[in-house]
């Protein structure tokens, strides 16, 4: 198997046992930022996104947008990082495999390209290796909006020479990506579109709010029924990316695992309420005031609690691995059920290497809390799994080395800086930039 490495083969080394204290600033949401970047293709005017995270995934998408004709201007503004995206003209509505495979969400350029130019050729995505992750709902939504879709040689060819037209789309099950994709296409369609059984995730509300400031006519985002009245054109706008609820949740788990007193800033408690409720149930002290969430954990073990992943506002699948890490040392037995993706327990064998006692059967993991974990060499397998290893390592005895942290770099900005500022003993070991085989 040949594999290509994006950037360096860095590793992260952690010596567990230090409690955390201080504050951690939360970045803008990766999962929102990449859809907002795709939305910039819908207008010939500049879209200015503030509170932008700086991540491998946003960099990948920036490269793809540049290929499509966008200028991508990243700068440090007064309120942090921002990106100004400007596509006066689409230079060729083709998204090639080498750019789409690096990040699944780049597939979301398909809708905006068809909406703006009447045609597009976009590679089928690669992305995280969690389950099959098809894009059939995305394509059905575009077809319902009047695009004709063909697939050959790994590419989707979409055509709507006379433009898209509004339609009623009933999703057979909830999909975040398909809801967003339909929204991105329907804003420029002729007439009314109604999306039923839509996802309600905060990132969808964020996308709708950005599109509304670009001149779109959308109501009901954040509920299951979204109504879009198509407009002829969209304009530029300035929009602040919503805080990253997955990063928020991961650091909340990290603070609870290591113990201590950490305040997460520039975030919101309401977007991680399902996690905070579980943490309180487990014995963590949570106080939230405005944009800050204070996480405290005193002496003694946490209590094991059960959870099931669900669509928003239920417990997010992206925080299942971090929460499982927290449960590895809790008192008792925790049953963790994954219902959104198959194959999302890849962190289990790695947590086991650290001494966790976890058994998996089908979509359920049973975690028996142990008294202690021991540092070991482990491997990051995907984005969410890798942060769970970091969390476990914070409480493990001795040193843990996490390999393949390029997975982590896709979604967490300056993780080792944010944790070491709170007293964690964590460092990055720089690797060589290279390509390899395995």
Judged by CB under 6 A, the residue of 317, 320, 381, 403 near ligand UD1 is: 317
Smallest distance from the beta carbon of 217 to ligand UD1, in angstroms? 24
Min dist CB 108 to ligand UD1, Å, is: 8
- Of 113, 122, 176, 286, the one binding ligand UD1 (CB under 6 A) is 176
Of the pair 33, 295, the CB lying nearest ligand UD1 is at 33
Minimum CB distance to ligand UD1 smaller for 176 or for 329: 176
CB of 57 to ligand UD1, least distance (A): 8
Is residue 105 a contact residue for ligand UD1 (CB under 6 A)? yes
322 binds ligand UD1 (CB under 6 A): no
Token pair belonging to 159: 């055509």
The least distance separating ligand UD1 from the CB of residue 242, rounded to whole angstroms, comes to: 12
Q: Does 178 bind ligand UD1 (CB under 6 A)?
A: yes
Residue (of 347, 322, 306, 341) closest to 247 by Cα position: 322
128 catalytically annotated: yes
| Selected binder of ligand UD1 within 340, 378, 380, 402 (CB under 6 A) | 340
**What is d(CA 64, CA 360) in angstroms, rounded to the nearest whole number?**
39
3-state secondary structure the chain: CEECCCCECCEEEEECCCCEEEEEECCECHHHHHHHHHHHHHCCCCEEEECCCCCHHHHHHHHHHHHHCCEEEEEEECCEEEEEEECCCCCCCEECHHHHCCCHHHHHHHHHHHHHHCEEEEECCCCCCCCCCCCHHHHHHHHHCCCEEEEECCEEEEECCCCCECCEEECCCCCHHHHHHHHHHHCCCECEEEEECCCCCHHHHHHHHHHHHCCCEEECECECCEEEECCCCCCCEEEECCECHHHHHHHHHHHHHHCEEEEEECCCCHHHHHHHHHHHHHCCEEEEECCEEEEEECCCCCECCCEEECCCCCECHHHHHHHHHHHCCCECEEEEECCCCCCCCCCHHHHHHCCCEEEEECCEEEEECCCCCECCEEECCCHHHHHHHHHHHHHCECEEEEECCHHHHCCCCCHHHHHHCCCCEEEEECCCECCEEC
Which two structure tokens, joined as six digits, stand for 282? Answer: 């487990």
The residue among 6 and 261 lying less far from ligand UD1, judged by its C-beta, is: 6
Of 382 and 416, the one with the shorter C-beta distance to ligand UD1 is: 382
* Among 145-153, 154-162, 269-277, 313-321, the segment contacting ligand UD1 (CB under 6 A): 313-321
Q: Which stretch binds ligand UD1 (CB under 6 A): 67-75, 174-182, 226-234, 282-290?
A: 174-182
Q: Which of 60, 341, 345, 406 binds ligand UD1 (CB under 6 A)?
A: 341
In the stretch 119-158, what mask flags binding to ligand UD1 with x, by CB under 6 A?
Answer: ------------xxxxxxxx--------------------
Question: Which listed residue (128, 200, 210, 422) is catalytic?
Answer: 128
Rounded to the nearest 5°, which phi and psi values hold at 99?
-95, -35
388 in contact with ligand UD1 (CB under 6 A):
no
Give least dist CB 383 to ligand UD1, A. Answer: 8
Q: Which is nearer to ligand UD1, 11 or 107 (CB)?
A: 107
Question: Is 137 or 237 the residue whose CB approaches ligand UD1 more closely?
Answer: 137
Which tokens sit at 345?
């327990």
Nearest approach, Cβ of residue 267 and ligand UD1 (Å): 17
175 binds ligand UD1 (CB under 6 A): yes
**CB of residue 123 to ligand UD1, shortest distance in Å:** 16
Nearest CB to ligand UD1, comparing residues 178 and 348: 178
Task: Check binding of 318 to ligand UD1 (CB under 6 A).
Answer: yes
Q: Which residues are catalytic?
A: 128
Binding site for ligand UD1 (CB under 6 A): 31, 105, 131-138, 175-178, 199, 316-318, 340-341
């Amino acid at each position: 198997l040949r594999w290509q490495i994006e950037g360096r083969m860095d590793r992260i080394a952690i010596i567990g046992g230090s409690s955390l204290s201080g504050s951690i600033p939360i970045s803008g949401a990766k999962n929102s930022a990449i859809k907002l970047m795709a939305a910039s293709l819908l207008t010939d005017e500049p879209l200015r996104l503030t509170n932008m995270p700086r991540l491998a995934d946003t960099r990948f998408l920036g490269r793809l947008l540049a290929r499509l004709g966008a200028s991508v201007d990243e700068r440090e503004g007064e309120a942090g990082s921002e990106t100004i995206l400007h596509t006066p003209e689409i230079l060729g509505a083709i998204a090639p495999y080498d750019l789409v495979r690096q990040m699944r969400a780049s597939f979301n350029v398909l809708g905006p390209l068809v909406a703006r130019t009447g045609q597009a050729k976009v590679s089928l995505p690669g992305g995280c290796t969690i389950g099959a992750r098809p894009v059939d709902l995305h394509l059905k939504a575009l077809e319902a909006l009047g695009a004709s879709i063909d697939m050959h040689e790994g590419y989707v060819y979409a055509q709507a020479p006379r433009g898209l037209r509004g339609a009623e789309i009933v999703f057979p099950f909830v999909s975040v990506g398909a809801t967003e994709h339909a929204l991105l296409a329907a804003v420029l369609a002729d007439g009314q579109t109604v999306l039923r059984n839509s996802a309600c995730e905060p990132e969808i509300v964020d996308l709708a709010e950005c599109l509304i400031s670009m001149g779109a006519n959308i109501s009901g985002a954040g509920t299951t029924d979204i109504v879009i009245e198509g407009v002829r054109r969209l304009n530029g706008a300035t929009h602040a990316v919503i805080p990253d609820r997955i990063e928020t949740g991961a650091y909340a788990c990290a603070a609870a695992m290591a113990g201590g007193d950490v305040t997460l800033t520039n975030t919101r408690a309401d977007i991680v309420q399902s996690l905070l409720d579980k943490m309180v149930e487990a014995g963590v002290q949570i106080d939230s005031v405005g944009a800050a969430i204070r996480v405290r954990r005193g002496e003694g073990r946490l209590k094991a609690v059960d959870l099931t992943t669900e669509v928003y506002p239920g417990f997010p699948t992206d925080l299942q691995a971090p929460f499982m890490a927290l449960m590895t040392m809790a008192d008792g037995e925790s049953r963790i059920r994954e219902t959104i993706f198959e194959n999302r327990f890849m962190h289990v064998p790695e947590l086991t290497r650290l001494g966790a006692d976890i058994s998996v059967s089908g979509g359920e993991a049973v975690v028996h809390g142990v008294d202690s974990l021991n540092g070991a060499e482990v491997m990051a397998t995907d984005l969410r799994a890798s942060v769970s290893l970091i969390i476990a390592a914070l409480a493990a005895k001795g040193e843990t080395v996490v390999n393949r942290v390029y997975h982590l770099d896709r979604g967490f900005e300056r993780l080792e800086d944010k944790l070491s500022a709170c007293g964690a003993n964590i460092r990055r070991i720089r690797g060589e930039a290279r390509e390899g085989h395995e």
